Amino acid sequence: MRLEFRRIVIQRKRPFRISRGLSTETENLFVIVEHEGLSGLGEMAPVGYGEPQTAETAQRDLTSAIPGIDSLEPSRLSRIEQVLMEHRVQPAARAAVNIACWDWLGKRAGLPLHRLLGLERQTAATSLTIGICSPDEAREQAKEIFMDHPECAIKIKMGDQDGHEADQLRFMAIQEAAPNSKLRIDANGGWSSKVAIEMMRWLLHRGCEYVEQPVHHEDIPGIRDAARHRCLPMFLDENIHTAADVPVWADFCDGVNLKLMKTGGISEALRLVHTARALGKKVMIGCMSESSVGIGAGAHIASLFDYVDLDSQFNMNPDPAFGLLFDAGQVLPNSDPGLGVDLK
């Protein structure tokens, strides 16, 4: 098979702030796999923590690994995964190739990817995210979501550098503007364990469904302390990359957030879901800063999840891809073979 690369800088409609910082654009790497007259499309989006994973490093790593995979057919997914890992290709870059190979397989079979995998098309409605901002800005965004997409939950980013009191003010502004919306919290590791415990108690009777990654992923004692004292369902995100991580953290969370850029693609994502289910954990599918290509890959497997958070494409100006559908709060693939998405 032959690989082609295309790097695209994508502007955001509105700046997006989380506890780790502010983002106004993203540079994503799109990977095209060609074999026997068919092509598959995948996407890598940067991972904003840990070892840097950028479009530049992804292209460099994949270029160095091409001699090990260029003789393989895209259907040899396990072998391709193995070779890329042997070459120390980072997960987000592996995800782009894995997604492209699954797209190719769907096209070869003449089936949408979810049908090839034996999955349903319908999913839970996605949440729509409000980043760290002033209460007035949060209120206006919440009003827009509540009016235009009442089926969608609102995910509120927390871990404000101005302290958890600022998080509380933003939460109350959003709740006032969207009183009937489901509210979910993601601190991206921005709280200490003490603050996390206090905030979960504060949120308990204020309509919050769950709290995601309340404590920094490297603060192991803090995560365990927050988990022991939790009074709301607690999901882990930054601690969960592959299926092997789930048993390690199973006693300290109620669910895990899977992202294709962390797992290395759809193949490992499926293993992670089944591992989490076997351990009695809830599962959520989230995103980094993917366009409709990476989000489309997530949409094809989204029926496996209790919670869906596939919304990064809505904040792109413009989204460089097309083909993904949005209906009654659900991010849905179309009926075309493979992913059913393409670059403009």
pLDDT at site 65: 97
Q: Is 209 exposed, middle or buried (0-12, 13-18, 19+ CB in 10 A)?
A: middle
Q: How far apart are CA 338 and CA 126, in angstroms?
A: 22
Other beta carbons within 10 Å of 114: 23
Backbone angles phi, psi at 164, to 5 degrees: -70, -15
62: CATH = 3.30.390.10
Residues 306 and 263 in one domain: yes
Residues 30 and 122 in one domain: no
Q: How far apart are CA 126 and CA 324, in angstroms?
A: 14
Q: How far apart are CA 94 and CA 100, in angstroms?
A: 10
For residue 8, give the H/E element and its range.
strand 2-18
Residues 102 and 187 in one domain: no
Among the three residues 90, 110, 130, which one is the final residue of a domain in this structure?
Answer: 110
Among the three residues 44, 79, 110, which one is the final residue of a domain in this structure?
Answer: 110
Q: 19 is in which domain, residue-wise?
A: 2-110
Give the DSSP per-residue string, 28-93.
Answer: EEEEEEEETTEEEEEEE--B-SSS-B-HHHHHHHHHHHHHHHTTS-TT-HHHHHHHHHHTT--HHH
List residues bridging with 67 in a β-sheet: none
Q: How many CA atoms lie within 13 A of 274 on its CB side?
A: 6
Residues 146 and 227 in one domain: yes
pLDDT at site 43: 98
Q: Residue with structure tokens 């290509």?
A: 293
Q: How far apart are CA 160 and CA 190, in angstroms?
A: 7
Residues 127 and 98 in one domain: no
pLDDT at site 111: 98
pLDDT at site 243: 98
- Given a contact cutoff of 8 angstroms between Cβ atoms, the answer to whether 97 and 42 are in contact is yes
Among the three residues 61, 95, 110, which one is the final residue of a domain in this structure?
Answer: 110
Residues 106 and 187 in one domain: no
pLDDT at site 190: 97
339: CATH = 3.20.20.120
- Given a contact cutoff of 8 angstroms between Cβ atoms, the answer to whether 293 and 42 are in contact is yes
Residues 62 and 141 in one domain: no
Residues 71 and 151 in one domain: no
Q: How far apart are CA 99 and CA 338, in angstroms?
A: 10
User: What is the number of structural domains in the chain?
Assistant: 2
pLDDT at site 51: 83
Residues 27 and 135 in one domain: no
Residues 121 and 100 in one domain: no
Residues 76 and 21 in one domain: yes
- Three-state DSSP at 192 gives coil
Residues of the chain with pLDDT under 70: none
Residues 41 and 182 in one domain: no
- Given a contact cutoff of 8 angstroms between Cβ atoms, the answer to whether 233 and 63 are in contact is no
| Cβ-Cβ contacts under 8 Å for 70 (sequence gap 6 or more) | 1, 2, 3
pLDDT at site 52: 83
